[in-house]
Structure 1
């Protein structure tokens, strides 16, 4: 059941890898700022705490645990632990964490090419790798300090090895696939659906139907084994959360992930479609994807694998998995990153079809490609890279001021809402609160719990959300100005909490 290869000169594998690595190395030295710094700060804090507090894999810690240990109910910390190993060897530098993400993402480009080659032929696979190398979402989340790049590597490895095994590969291929699939589920859980469904379909088709497939033990051992190890970790994580009171909100009413009524309105689906078209596909990738999804014409299916339908199935599975947690999916665009594992090979097929037309279509294809790359670079520059610069960053200014004004072991109350970016940048432990939490009782409680200072900004509340003018801001300013050393000269303030501090 192999795939025939396209004739012609072999395409250079190093080119998409080089392009992908080059784009992902842009601003690799950037601090934790910009898009989704919230998520990155928590991941980076875990890595730093592993490196500095002891390499105990089963005890992930964040910075916003107040006076406590900071142990938190979290996803399987494979990525931050890997970063911590680098920190132990070379010191705490964010570029090491970004470098690990870059490595994972470049390896994913290689696997996307291999998947495309097996399902669609040599040229479609190669161009699929090019698209994964240059499109905005894979580039940006292929160099952020969060586990998305590792997740994509594990997912691509699971799919690629499964295809190898179905084509008569050794049992080692399915073992590697299972390990990668289990790792992906541990890191994020939702791959159990968006990756598991395509793999299950592949298994049934490869074995001649559902009846034949379900008769073999591996059809049960593969998913049940992955489910067992995933459940074991999240049971342990639940115990950590219950003991410390700290969680990323996987369970319960406070999770704010499962407002399924959103699925009934146009807003969720319209915004999702717009985001995917712009951030994932750079607009010009949309027609290429549609062209790749079209069934081949009679006599033009050479090089196309019978199992190629797993790719559109994967697209649907990612959308369905996201709908299980619509609140999270609507806010966090990296939940649409897995679409690219299935979309890029199809886009590669769309490009090949466009190029195989008349001379006019061939010239138009190069124009589409050029414009898509230009749009992608524009999106990356304006929406992502520009926001990582420290110049003019209120969060960076506040973090530096906290570092300068408090000792290393100080516990700080940071008025940045639930956003941990400032606390991470300051390299301090403490509490995250909103400005309205400031009261006489709370200030006294913070002092009793061991807080050394209160810090915040008049420019932003969270690291990205402007602090609007109004009574709340005026009240905070009056209180800050009434404390020693008086009104700050800039937008950031750090007020020591001691016996002489007055509350509003």
Structure 2
């Protein structure tokens, strides 16, 4: 790759990371605010209580202590430690997420450039950093950036171990995989490309190698210890994030897999259109079909097969939420980058071909960032929430529990810095509870779904309203 191309790619990467700081201090009322609020609320509770990482608490606790069954809260606990130093502000958590994503970009570049070529590493990281979803989710208060960094780190450090046999690289890879699997169980799919790296180091002797068995045992023991403990938290408070998906068939749902709607939604509407803006979708197919020039390219083939297995094992989540495809993007970016690395960076390639390839890459970056800006500017009306916050504080009940009817979202509880319930109770149920108020917003506002004015007026007598207008309401005891 010429110095000019390296300079252009470097400038693009700097600009793409700068875009992530747009709205860095915005309230957690944007896309997927319900999940961000849970994550941010748990982090803030760690910060305020000083609890051990083994005792995560949620805001939607009702009158319990709030301990909840959840994935290992290492991201939330890390954010809480940053809050201890810099203060409990959304900008602190978002900056931490950006730093974690930057780490995943660096590790991905090192992995691809060391196993294949620097050219492929540069174009892979440029595409990976430019996607609408990686741009947006890299700045959210979610554990996904840590999940991505630890997943790529598990592969990168085991790749280094496969070359040198170094104990430090082995331990770093093991630590990364443990973190990834504790954040989400799904990264167990990485076992497929990891097996290739163990085979590269030990050959068929890996079946008798203590390093392989210790690696697998440590991951499984870590999972067993945490989820056994998490189950005891659920027994204490009956609060859970539904990790096992009993209610919605979260894992391997054949009814979902057997529909054309699922495959169209995930492969075309999500991966091709949303994640890769249609522009790069044909390049993924092109890259998959290209002849392998290095034996270690098989690592990314197996990684791609592994994420396809992940898609089959968790179809419901992938169908409902776009962030479920984040683990799939890194290997797909490698395939999408192959035509650019093979032809755009080749000195003898025709100028017309180079121009067309460069135009496609610029078009993709432009469309992806345009989609990101549209996403960021979709809901930015925070005035009703701020007014609700001020009026509730004026009731002189700083520690009182509240009801928030927000269609299962804890966003309003987090924004108001309160604890309580999610739901719209009858007036009698409210009066016999420990809650001091029922507060909410009407309709669909900033990704929060509230009740209609008619529903609220029908439930409560006129004298119970401390605030009632076309946007928000507060109900108190009279």
Q: Same fold (TM over 0.5)?
A: yes
Structure 1, unpaired ranges of 5+: 1-5
Deviation of the 1:40 alpha carbon: 0.4
Match of 1:362 in 2: 354
State the secondary structure of the residue aligned to 1:483.
helix
Runs of 4+ in 1 over 6 A off after TM superposition: 6-10
Contact 1:315 1:342 in 2 (8 A): yes
Q: CA distance change for structure 1 residues 10 and 213 in 2, over 3 Å: closer, same or farther? A: farther
For 1:396 and 1:278, the matched residues in 2 are separated by 36
Instruction: Structure 2: give runs of 5+ residues left out of the alignment.
Output: none
In structure 1, the residue matched to 2:247 is: 254
Q: From 234, 253, 259, give the equivalent of 1:241.
A: 234
Matches within 5 A, 1:10-409: 11=6, 15=11, 18-193=14-189, 195-208=190-203, 211-251=204-244, 253-254=246-247, 257-258=250-251, 259-273=253-267, 274-296=269-291, 304-355=293-344, 356=346, 357-382=349-374, 384-387=375-378, 389-391=380-382, 398-399=388-389, 401-405=391-395, 407-409=397-399
Change in Cα spacing, 1:269 to 1:219, as seen in structure 2 (3 Å) is: same
- After superposition, the C-alpha distances for 1:276-302 in whole angstroms (9 at most, x for unaligned) are 113321221212222222232xxxx6x
Q: How many residues align?
A: 472
Residues 256, 72 of structure 1: alpha-carbon distance in 2 compared, 3 angstrom cutoff: farther
Corresponding residue SS for 1:338: helix
Q: How much has 1:475 moved relative to structure 2?
A: 3.6
Deviation string 1:169-215 (CA, Å, 9 cap, x unpaired) is 5221111111111111111111012x22221233235543xx33212
* Preserved contact between residue 17 and residue 110 of structure 1 (Cα < 8 Å): no
Please tell me whether residue 456 in structure 1 is matched to residue 440 in structure 2: yes
Find the aligned partners of 1:140 and 1:131 in 2 and give their Cα distance: 14
Q: Residues 104-138 of structure 1: CA distance to partner in whole angstroms, max 9, x if unpaired?
A: 11111111111110232011101111112211111
Shift of 1:86: 1.1
Deviations 1:225-269 (A, max 9, x none): 111111111110111011110000013633652443111111111
Distance in 2 (alpha carbons) for counterparts of 1:307 and 1:244: 49
Deviations 1:447-477 (A, max 9, x none): xxx110011222238944475x6xxx52422
Give how far 1:395 is off: 5.4
Who is 2:417 aligned against? 427
Indicate how the Cα distance of structure 1 residues 282 and 462 shifts in structure 2: closer, same or farther if over 3 A, else same.
Answer: closer
Q: How far apart are residue 35 of structure 1 and its match?
A: 1.0
1:420-461 CA distance string (max 9 Å, x none): 00110000000001x4xx335522442xxx110011222238
Say if 1:332 and 1:420 are closer, same or farther in 2 by CA, change over 3 A: same
Contact 1:405 1:494 (C-alpha < 8 Å) held by counterparts: no
CA distance in structure 2 between the partners assigned to 1:148 and 1:366 by the alignment? 30
Question: 1-side partners of 2:73 and 2:244: how far apart?
Answer: 18
SS of match in other structure, 2:224: helix
What TM-score do the two structures reach when normalised by structure 1?
Answer: 0.87
- Equivalent position SS for 2:367: helix
1:439 equivalent among 408, 418, 426? 426
Hey, what does 1:3 align to over in structure 2? none
SS at match of 2:42: helix
State the 1:50 CA deviation: 0.4
Instruction: Note the alpha carbon deviations across 1:294-347, whole angstroms, 9 max, x for none.
Output: 232xxxx6xx43121221322232232233232222222111001122122222
Confirm or deny: 8 A CA contact 1:481 1:488 kept in the other structure: no
Whole-Å separation in 2 of the counterparts to 1:346 and 1:401: 54
Tell me the distance in 2 between the aligned counterparts of 1:458 and 1:97.
29
Question: Is the 2:60–2:419 contact (alpha carbons within 8 Å) kept by the matching residues of 1?
Answer: yes
How far apart in 2 are the matches of 1:158 and 1:64? Answer: 34
**Compared CA separation, residues 407 and 39, structure 1 to 2 (3 A):** same
Contact kept, 8 Å, 1:16 with 1:129, in 2: the verdict is no
Q: Deviations over 1:119-159 (max 9, x none)?
A: 32011101111112211111111110010001111111111
Which segment drifts farther, 245-254 or 92-101? Answer: 245-254
CA distance in 2, matches of 1:337, 1:135: 10
> Structure 1 residues 453, 72: closer, same or farther in 2, change over 3 A?
same
* Partners of 1:187 and 1:285 in 2: CA distance: 30
Task: For 1:359 and 1:150, locate their aligned partners in 2 and report how far apart those are by CA, in whole Å.
Answer: 40
RMSD of aligned C-alpha atoms? 2.4
